Structure formats: C-alpha cells, structure tokens
A and B are shown apart, each in its own frame.
Chain A
Amino acid sequence: MTDLPNNSSIKFDTDDLDWLAFQYISNELSEQESEAFEELLAQKQEAREALAGATQLVAGLKSIECVPTVQTPASTSGKATFNASLNSPFRSQQWALVSCAAVILLVTTFLLTKPVSREASLAYTAPTEPTQEDLEHVLDLWFEASEENSFTISLNSNTDAIDLIDQQNVLADNQTLEIPDWLYTAVSLPEESVN
C-alpha cells in the first residue's frame, strides 16, 4: 500500500499496478482515484510503465481479429466460446473462402436448373379443354399449310417429321378430316407458351 502525499485519503495497492492502470485507462476510477493515480504516475516509474503496458495490452486485445461470442448461461457459472478465428487468423480466411464458394455453387446450381424447371413446369401444365372455335381456327391454318405444300425434308429430318408430312398428304388426298393428337395438344397449350 502507498500513502499518497497532498493529504490524499486514497490508498492504492501498488503491488497491483497493472490492474490500477487498466482501470485508469478504462475510465473506471472515480475522479479522486484518477487524480491519486496521476500523482502516483508523477512519482513512480513502475506506475508509468504499468500504464504503458496496460495501454499496449488493450490495444493488442482490440487488434485481435476475432468475433468472440459469449454464451450467457442460465446457470451461475459463465462459459465463453470463441469462434475458430481466435485460434488462427488464417482459419477465418478459410471459412470466408468456403462460404463464398458455397454461395457461388448455390447460385450456379440455381441458374442451371432454372430453365429445366421452367420447361418441366410447362410440361406439367394441365391442358385445358379446347373450344370449338380454337379447333376450327387451327384446322384452317393446317389446311392452308398443306395446300401450299411448302414442306421440305432435309436429310437430317427425323422420322417423326416425315411421318407428319405423309399424314398430311394422305389426309389431303382422302379429303377426310382426322384430327391428330398433336393438334389437340397444340390447341390446348396456353397462349404464352406458343408465343
């Protein structure tokens, strides 16, 4: 203990200068205690060095790049946990990289699957019942196209396309109206998909 001059009634435990210095820089001392500590600083080099050490300690603690989390327990015993970045600054960088990679992967997956899902949703659109007017309109267009006979078959055409053209020619020759299934489907599709 040290009795300070100037009739100061405050007695400090000079064996604990580090704690005193920490309290001083944390503004936890009263005004009277601060003045008493400043008088101690004027006299003792140990006090001055303790203040320098406490300042460096607080600055160093603040410089640690970590985001500490403190679990406030329901029980009386406290428990604190740091995240992985306290152990090493590099681990926090690794976590950041992994997070970014995961986000990029998710976004890429979403963008790639989006058109497929759109097509799938269209495929699963329940067909609506075609009206008589819709049927007649499509049939008119169909006859016009077959009369013009403007179909060309490329070497790469698949057999479905050839069958279609044959079917149209047969129908045209026979002058019978057999409405193929695809026509119904075409009529049933919503206008947005056609456009």
Chain B
Amino acid sequence: MTTGNDGKLDPEIVHQLFETHVKELRAFLTGLLRDHDFVDEVIQLTFSKALQSGGQSNEETRKGWLFRVAYHESMGLIRRNKIHKKSLNNLCQTTKSYWTETPEQRLLETENIEQIRMALKNLPESQQAIVIARIYESKTFKEIAIDFGLPLGTVLTRMRLAIKTLSRQIDNPSENP
C-alpha cells in the first residue's frame, strides 16, 4: 500500500518494517561500520529513504531492498568520512546495552545469549578451545597454533567448523542436543 505514484511508502508500513528488521539491520550495519553513531545515522537515512521511495520495491523483497539501501548508504558514509575499521571485539564490549531498547527486547537478548552459551558449551572441546582463545583472549590464529602446537590450517578449520555450528544452532535452537 503506497501513497500515490510518487513511490512513497505508508508511514505505518515503514513503522512495521522498522519493528521487524531494525535489530538485524543494526547488526549488519555494525559489522560494516563498527561505530554505533554511524550505524544510527545510516538507519535514519535508510528508513527516510523507505518513506520517500520504498513504494518502488515489492513487498516480498522489501527486506532485501532495505538492506541494499543500508549497504549503499554505509559505503557512501565510509567514502565521505574515510572511516577506519575498528575492532569489532572492542565494540562488542559496549554493545550489550546498545542492542536492547525495551524490556521485551532485553528479554529476547537474554535468551539469545543463553542460546549462544549453550551452543558454545555443546561444541567439541577442540573447537571450544579455539573459540575461547580467539574471542576471549583475542589471540591471533597464528598464536593459537603455536600455543596448542597445531598447524595453522587445523586451527582455522576448527574455528570455521565452530562458527558454522554456532550459527546453525543459534538459528535453529531445537537442534541443540
């Protein structure tokens, strides 16, 4: 449902899109920009554009359209400001309170963290060790390989498997043993 033929989108629809996709969009932009202030700016620009010209997109592909707009806005911002990529590890330490906006969202976040905790606990020990060393001790894969006396390729493979397992279990919690 749009307003006229000028491509504008109904504010109510934009509001619904915001409620549905803002969390995932924010995560995407954080991974891209590594700066909360820039993320806020791009989110504002994205949904402003959705109001102005979101009617040009199909309803089925509107999510992809939003993400594409957010991506292009981010790239523009990076080029204009010559943003240097910060470490996401440092950014994530201040992210906990940033993700949450309402008590319901805070509850969801707690559930997500619990899912991640369980998924990490259920990893094989060999993969768990690599994840701990990489995420919590901020060691490079080379350092981990030296510490554990493993080839670098083995370390990378274990980390890759761990990420794949963690991502799958978080998307599908019912798969947790």
Contacts and interface: CB of A to CB of B under 8 A. Distances in A.
A and B from one complex: yes
B171 to A, nearest CB: 7
B167 A54 contact: yes
A53 B109 CA distance: 14
Contact of A62 (B63, B93, B149, B170): B93
A129 interface: no
Residue among B31, B88, B164, B167 with the most chain A CB within 10 A?
B31
B116 A61 contact: yes
A51 B148 CA distance: 29
Interface string B123-140: 001101111110111000
Interface residues of A, number: 43
A118 interface: no
Contacts of A21: 31
A59 B96 contact: yes
Interface residues of B, number: 55
B59 to A, nearest CB: 15
Interface stretch (B4-12, B22-30, B46-54): B22-30
Contacts of B171: 53
B67 A48 contact: yes
B159 to A, nearest CB: 8
Given A62-B95, A63-B96, A80-B128, A27 B27 contact: no
Interface string B84-121: 01011100110110010000000001001101110011
A57 to B, nearest CB: 6
Contacts of B132: 68, 70, 80, 82
A79 interface: yes
Contact of A53 (B126, B147, B170): B170
A42 B34 CA distance: 18
Interface string B12-48: 0000000000001101101110100000000000000
Nearest to B165: A18
B137 A51 contact: no
A76 interface: yes
A5 interface: no
A46 to B, nearest CB: 10
A76 B150 contact: yes
B113 A18 contact: no
B121 A76 contact: no
A56 B132 CA distance: 17
A48 B30 CA distance: 12
Contacts of A58: 88-89, 92, 135
Contacts of A101: none
Interface of A: 16, 18-19, 21-22, 24-28, 38, 41-42, 45, 48-49, 51-64, 68, 70, 72-73, 75-80, 82, 86-87
28 contacts: A19-B160, A24-B31, A27-B88, A38-B75, A42-B72, A45-B63, A45-B64, A45-B67, A48-B68, A48-B71, A51-B32, A52-B25, A54-B31, A54-B163, A58-B88, A58-B89, A58-B135, A59-B92, A60-B112, A62-B93, A62-B96, A63-B95, A63-B113, A70-B133, A70-B137, A78-B125, A78-B150, A79-B129
